[in-house]
Chains A and B, each alone.
Chain A
């Protein structure tokens, strides 16, 4: 629980958790574990079962699909939710571009966490909607 006392302030500054009141923010901080990745280290591996859900606290990562860089993620961005919610292996690698500190949650814990924190689920839905709109415009 130690780091969570300080993590809670970091969490509160991220859009995904912005709507949580303080006690829920405390509980949310305790629901995640911190993880650290070095430059070039793979966080998600395409095609491997059992991956997790990540929120970036510091640093950047790239989404790499079929050997091509698809998107760069930074502080406050999250990834792994699609495979976690669908129970499928990731369809792309996510690779740390530099030293990266993340919050990590095991895939099976994501659904109950979202059900217990609808405000986070709403924020995640907003993000997914924006991504969908961007993709639709790009195709249109």
Chain B
């Protein structure tokens, strides 16, 4: 059988050939994007090396429970848009019966789903919404081809060649990375950690103090004789950074053992080298604060040294990468900043960093942020590459104020992607007032356009969470920060008055706002 010929009886969709758009990957990012593209009527193929949906959740987290919650009981009604704020794991669907699928698959023992529950959630989404994927089809290399009808990408796969004008890589950031520290290549990576009981009674050295290192330490606490975690800079804690940057609360037990001197040591030190010494290992470190090197005799070491994006030959094609995870540099709409026509979806989209105001990152690296990015990306692809006009929903002048108040109070897009996604209402002399939907904030600020107001939710390092509006008037954009609220209720009279004042700067007269409480 020639390479590329499907075996007899192969009923998988999307055989090799030419497609307008090809999506690579069947994790949450690939599934969400394909779903949204199909809703818009954009023809595309989806291929995946895996045998079934799930992406990294088919394998990790190692200790089989997620860090992202889905709250069965929440302040918002199950299955509504507002509920998405409390359900970080379900993918987004328009059909009521396909929303919030995660809750129905959890056994009730935790509001953090187990890994198998999350995998089921993604399988259920693909099955129920009819997302089609050619599984067992591994993307292997990429090249460009110039034809009479323009430039195309050629994706060589284990099944044959796919040609497309636009390619989206939703391939995750899960390729194990080990830095070139002498001897570190001799020890297993996080990805190769053995079952916890095989570490019983052992002295363990974990290189790395991020969530993966602390996850291993948490899981090994009942088994290990002692645990050392080391990396050059202090451990960051999410409850201190007030973001997903830092060790999550669920993995803090080793840290408490450390501060209570209970057999766990959390060190600020560079790893100098790791050497085998008979049946043990000698790990030599240099304290970040100075002083002589310190050597540890341990039974096991594990490199919790992170993951990189598996971009294969895309850098050779010109895709610029940066940072510790070798993320592709991206435009605000998740297109390679250096190779037009190549896009990214899913966790790899965190390479479009946005403004990171106050140092706060977007949640694009997690499902609850990436799912909104994917939906926006689908709309952007449809508009830019398939000449489908973006929907502008006309909105009455008197509706603008209650609409924006409702959005800053409840829009999950704004709450999950703070200072990253914005809800935009434009005020165009020719086209009237319109809800433009969500756009990346960086795009709104830099792309220009008609007079408009953009609403975001933002946060600072001191714990403030508050609405911020951006007014674009006569080509100039100004930021207006509104106050917060102890219960994050931004529908107060103070907030309504402030937003009304902003609208008046754009020439809108909200007049009597219908949703306002009676002034009794």
Q: Which residues of A contact B (CB under 8 A)?
A: 1-6, 21-24, 26-27, 29-31, 33-36, 38, 41-42, 45, 47-52, 89, 99, 101, 104-109
Contact = CB atoms under 8 A, between A and B. Distances in A.
Contacts of A33: 323-324
B257 interface: no
Nearest to A110: B359
Interface stretch (B124-132, B134-142, B349-357): B349-357
A104 B355 CA distance: 11
Contact of A38 (B324, B326, B337, B419): B337
A99 B330 CA distance: 12
Nearest to A51: B357
A1 B461 contact: no
A36 B320 contact: yes
Given A35-B322, A36-B322, A49 B353 contact: no
Nearest to B445: A45
Give the dominant DSSP class at B's interface: loop
Contact of A47 (B180, B306, B478): B478
Nearest to B180: A5
Contact of A3 (B231, B323, B360, B445): B323
Interface stretch (B52-60, B86-94, B285-293): B285-293
B177 interface: yes
Among B208, B325, B358, B478, residue most surrounded by chain A Cβ atoms (within 10 Å): B358
Contact of A31 (B233, B269, B286, B338): B233
A30 B231 contact: yes
A23 B419 contact: no
A108 B338 contact: no
A96 B325 CA distance: 22
Given A34-B323, A42-B446, A48 B269 contact: no
B491 interface: no
A33 B460 CA distance: 18
Contact of B181 (A5, A22, A48): A5
B505 interface: no
B446 A41 contact: yes
A43 to B, nearest CB: 10
A27 B288 contact: yes
Contacts of A45: 355, 445
B305 interface: yes
B513 interface: no
Contacts of A52: 356, 359
A21 B290 contact: yes
Contact of B305 (A2, A21, A29, A31): A2
A26 B458 CA distance: 32
B353 A35 contact: yes
Interface string B215-243: 00000000000000001110000000000
B481 A49 contact: yes
B324 A48 contact: no
A99 B331 CA distance: 12
A132 to B, nearest CB: 28
B290 A23 contact: yes
Contacts of A5: 179-181
B288 to A, nearest CB: 4
Contacts of B270: 22-23, 26-27
A50 B358 contact: yes
B268 interface: yes
Nearest to A84: B359
B208 A106 contact: no
Contact of A107 (B232, B359, B446): B359
A98 B39 CA distance: 38
A96 to B, nearest CB: 10
Contacts of A31: 233
Nearest to B288: A27
Given A1-B208, A42-B446, A104 B356 contact: yes
Given A35-B323, A49-B357, 11 more contacts: A1-B324, A6-B180, A23-B232, A24-B290, A36-B337, A42-B445, A45-B355, A48-B355, A50-B355, A51-B357, A106-B461
20 contacts: A1-B210, A2-B179, A3-B326, A5-B180, A6-B180, A24-B290, A27-B233, A27-B288, A30-B231, A33-B324, A35-B323, A36-B329, A38-B329, A38-B337, A38-B338, A47-B478, A48-B445, A49-B468, A50-B359, A51-B357
Nearest to A35: B353
Contacts of A107: 358-359
